[in-house]
Chains A and B, each alone.
Chain A
Amino acid sequence: MLEQQLINGLTLGVIYALIAVGYSMVYGVIELINFAHGEIYMFGAFFCATFITAFGLPFFPAMALAMICCACLGVLLDIFAYRPLRRAPRLAPLITAIGMSIFLQNLAMIVWGSRPKPFPQEALPAFFHETALTFSGVQLSWLQLFIFSLTIVLMIGLNLVITRTKTGTAMRALAQNQRAAALMGINVNRIISFTFMIGSSLGAVAGILVSVFYNTMYPTMGYNAGVKAFAAAVLGGIGSVPGAMLGGIVLGVAEALGAGYVSSLYRDGVAYAVLIAVILFRPTGLFGKAVRQKA
């Protein structure tokens, strides 16, 4: 049924948006496509599940702790992998990002095994999979309602941080002119770390929500989600945070429509089609500015 597909598409869309802002924010400040961002998302899910099964934490504290761990992981990734290459030609950090993505995937396989695992559902509130709302035949579970409300709260919070705080303004300033930002006394590396921190913790939330929603997680799950969120970020205009949010939602809905009208086999192809279409017809995306070419 189409309406149901749309609701499910929207659920995935807001999650894509959550991952996409991580790509976009990092691109905004250092003009790097952080290919390892999908792995941060995957680590979020595994961290959360581990805190539940190994340490017996309840779901919400485990999620909060996983966010913190992924924030640290993102910052370490920047400090050790990308910071030494700040002045290098841009291909070098790009290849490093791909390398880090493979490294983190394999690290997860060593730690948690390569087979898909179910999410420890026993830690979740029991009513999560019950129906919360039914309207004209469309069902919305408590879990979906939770996903919507949490992502909306996080997006509003992120917007407030970026537009209203000094650190957020510094982040935008840095994205517009790094040299001028440094000349104003802004510690450029600290703001870049902050950007990785925020993007990675949001990515962790997305990983947790997806593994709860589908009740599965595996070390390569970051690849597919990463491609889709990247497509969403490009659709929105890479570097633009509101663009990434909108791009995620549009992509989620487009996937649902593609699966509903054409065939569910084409679901994953939609992201690639969107990516190609944007690159062909509107390379700056919905919200993007003309891309500066960095030497």
Chain B
Amino acid sequence: MLKVENIRTFYGNIEALKGVSLEVNRGEIVTLIGANGAGKSTTLMSISGVTPPRTGSVVFEGRDITRMPTDRIVATGITQVPEGRLIFPGLTVRENLMMGAYLRNDKAGIAQDLEHIYGLFPILKERRAQHGGTLSGGEQQMLAIGRALMSRPKLLLLDEPSLGLAPIVVENIFGVITKINAEGVTVMLVEQNAQMALSIAHRAYVLETGHVTLSGDARELMNDPKVQSAYLGLD
């Protein structure tokens, strides 16, 4: 479905991605784990066209999207929930969700999806008239995921959805990720919480300073001694 081939992305002269290749198949949850500054967010931003790679290619469903502008990449079916959520603080919860459906014009479908998201995150329905900025961190994360789902993505990119959240909220959010995946949305999940990510993912990639150093079946990686010592806090 998505094929990232040997991309190199720069911030000025800093090379953040030094030739990253990875693949996501339809229906999968693929996770990308790695330490701070490994280039996880940059990988997602390169896929979304926010920081286009200097060389290499990103192909989605057979189309080269490497140098497409971000809004057109979203139109192809890739939506990202960025790190730090980046909800619109001065828009109401409902307006935030409607902005996710910006490219859609099917009124009935949008109304249906809105109800679906209120079903996934009932708290958002309660808070629908409140400004996004007044929500708690966990609620904002739910809003950011709900907003992205409103675009009816084929591929959902999630950047550290567990960041800064209480374990119970993380459980809830990971439960929803599994659920939307079961409903047919392919997921690429970036996480520092490797334990959680590997437990719901089918496959995984390990990123270290701009390189993919390991990849494979999520369960196998969980038992890999290198992964265990570096990312799972086991010896």
Residues 149-181 (chain A) with a chain B CB within 8 angstroms: 166, 169-170, 172-173, 176-177, 179-181
B1 within 8 A of A: no
**Are A183 and B102 in contact (CB-based, < 8 A)?**
no
Q: Which of A169, A170, A173, A185 touches B75 (beta carbons < 8 Å)?
A: A185
Cβ–Cβ contact A176 & B91, under 8 A = yes
The A/B interface has a contact count, at CB < 8 Å, of 63
**Given A166-B102, A177-B88, A183:B75 Cβ within 8 A:** no
Complex Cα distance A176/B95, Å?
13
List of B residues within 8 angstroms of A170 by Cβ: 99, 102
Partner of A188 from the list B71, B79, B87, B98 (CB cut-off 8 Å) is B71
Q: Could you tell me the distance in whole angstroms from the C-beta of B163 to the nearest C-beta in chain A?
A: 16
Q: 0/1 per residue, A177-203, Cβ < 8 Å to B?
A: 101111111111000000000000000
Q: When the two chains form their complex, are residues B90 and A169 in contact, meaning their CB atoms are under 8 A apart?
A: no
CA of A180 to CA of B48 in the docked complex: distance in angstroms?
11
Mask, B53-83, CB within 8 Å of A = 1, is 0000000000000000111001100011010
Nearest B residue to A169 by beta-carbon distance?
Answer: B95
| B82 and A169 contact, CB distance less than 8 A | no
B39 within 8 A of A: no
Contact residues in A for B103 (Cβ distance below 8 Å): 185
Q: Is the beta-carbon distance between B50 and A179 smaller than 8 angstroms?
A: yes
Number of A interface residues in the complex (CB < 8 A):
17
- Are A177's CB and B102's CB within 8 A? no
B98 proximity list for chain A (CB < 8 A): 166, 169
If over half of A's interface residues share one DSSP class (helix, strand or loop), that class is named, otherwise mixed; here it is helix
Interface residues on B, range: 20 to 34
Are the CB atoms of B87 and A183 closer together than 8 Å? no
Partner of B71, one of A169, A177, A187: A187
B62 to chain A, nearest CB (A): 21
Shortest distance between the CB of A215 and any CB in chain B (Å) = 42
Q: Which residues of chain B come closer than 8 Å to A182, judged between CB atoms? A: 50, 70-71
Nearest Cβ distance between residue A248 and chain B, in whole angstroms?
22
Tell whether B147 is near chain A: CB-to-CB under 8 Å.
yes
Whether the Cβ atoms of A184 and B91 lie closer than 8 Å is no
Residue from A176, A186, A188 whose CB has the most chain B CB atoms within 10 Å: A176
Q: Knowing A184-B74, A184-B151 touch, does A176 contact B88 (C-beta < 8 A)?
A: yes
CB <8 Å contact, B82 and A179:
yes
With a cutoff of 8 Å between Cβ atoms, the chain A residues found around residue B50 in the complex are 179, 182-183
Which residues of chain A are near B79, meaning CB under 8 Å?
A: 183-185
Q: Which chain A residues (95-154) contact chain B, with CB distance < 8 Å? A: none
State A55–B54 Cα separation when bound (angstroms). 53
Question: In the bound complex, how far is the Cα of B232 from the Cα of A162, in angstroms?
Answer: 48
Q: How far is the CA of A182 from the CA of B71 in the complex (A)?
A: 6
Bound complex: CA of A172 vs CA of B99, how far in Å? 10
A sample of 16 more A-B contacts (CB under 8 A), given A170-B99, A173-B88, A184-B102, is: A166-B98, A172-B88, A173-B95, A176-B90, A177-B88, A179-B50, A180-B88, A181-B88, A183-B50, A183-B80, A185-B75, A185-B79, A185-B102, A186-B99, A186-B102, A187-B71
9 A–B pairs (Cβ distance < 8 Å), ordered by A: A169-B95, A169-B98, A170-B99, A170-B102, A177-B88, A179-B50, A183-B50, A184-B100, A185-B71
Q: Which A-B residue pairs are the 5 nearest by beta carbons?
A: A185-B74, A180-B86, A185-B103, A182-B70, A187-B71
Residues of B within 8 A of A (CB): 48, 50, 69-71, 74-75, 79-80, 82, 86-91, 95, 98-100, 102-103, 147, 151
